[in-house]
Structure 1
Amino acid sequence: MIAVVYSGSHYAHWRLADRGKTVASFRTSGINPYFNDEKQITTLLNKNINLIHHAEQIKRIYFFGPGLASNELKDIIRNAFLTFFKFAKITVAHDIDAVAIASCKNTEGIVCICGSGTNAAWYDGKK
């Protein structure tokens, strides 16, 4: 099973999928390392029945969110997730990466986010 998480500062949208079929789709509070430390993130995860029920089955997590400008900030997310999802490999990336992958797939393009914050980037089809 995989989990794909697209988070803003206010809300995080979760999709759990197994063998190409959605198992669960839900929303939690947003996850942003500028505002949430590891303990707060772990507490949030422990309050969600979908996550509690599927935690051991999730083998891969793709988290895309705000505030991930450095490896230190990414590690806040990664470490909290590793505490909760004991059997998962975790990828933590900036929210603009999710927009680029979803919009451009493997072609070049300009992508942008207009939300609590605004960001734009050139995507070369790979990064």
Structure 2
Amino acid sequence: MKKSLTLIAINLSLSFIYSAINDFSRFSFINSSFIIGMIYLLFGAFCFIWQKGFFDITIFSFNKLNQHVQKRNKISSFEQDISIEDYIGEKENFFLTSSLLISGMLISLTSITLSFFIIL
């Protein structure tokens, strides 16, 4: 929760600086806040997908293809077969994944709600 609040504070300060540069125009704070929130959400979703191992098969396939090309060109000096178990067992944990997702969704939804209230 502390990391999410830190990300929200960073977003608010960056949005305030951007709106101050634009002479506090009507939607500059909300627009910049929404864009930063979407960036948080995008990076959080990418980290979540990477953690779950979505790209393991792709990385395995490219390494297998690279090994095949090296064998055919006789560049590789050692013979080592790559197995799928080498890639599936590895799990990477990113420490900001949940914080990025939570703060990105919260900031984006708040920005959308505020913009609708200002328009009405």
Bigger radius of gyration, 1 or 2? 2
TM-score (norm 1): 0.27
Higher strand proportion, which one? Answer: 1
Higher helix proportion, which one? Answer: 2
